[in-house]
Structure 1
Amino acid sequence: MQALTEAMQGEIYTIKWLFGVPEVLNFMADCQIKEGSVIQVMKKYRDCLIISAGERRIALSREVADRIKV
């Protein structure tokens, strides 16, 4: 298991667990980002990641991505 920030660009991963404040977790669940979700790391930048979850593309800060384990 590794943090999402350590994931390889272009690879597909399953989210094992994530943590954070409830408001952020609820928003992420609405965007189909929750335990068991399959996501793809579209692009990695110095300070953020762009991931694909379902039909959505979402930019996550490295701080948030560090709290998601795949």
Structure 2
Amino acid sequence: MSAVVLERLYDVSEVAAHIRRDPSTVRRKIAAGEFSGAFDDGDGRSHYLVPESALIKYLDARRVTPTKEN
């Protein structure tokens, strides 16, 4: 028997807090496909959920690595 792994899902306000942006900005980013795997929860009110892996991928893509100066 294989184990089932459940991934944490974040709502728009939680994602907004993590990336320090307004919830409306998060909705636009979801619509633009910047959070792969995000989906509408199906209640008919455009409540999006973002998988933790998509949030991590988004943050990692924007992480700046300092470079050494000579």
Q: Could you tell me the TM-score, scaled by structure 1's length? A: 0.28
* Larger gyration radius, structure 1 or structure 2: 2
Question: Which structure shows the higher helix fraction?
Answer: 2
Question: Which structure shows the higher strand fraction?
Answer: 1
Q: Which has the higher contact order (CA 8 A, sep 6+)?
A: 1
Q: Could you tell me the TM-score, scaled by structure 2's length? A: 0.28
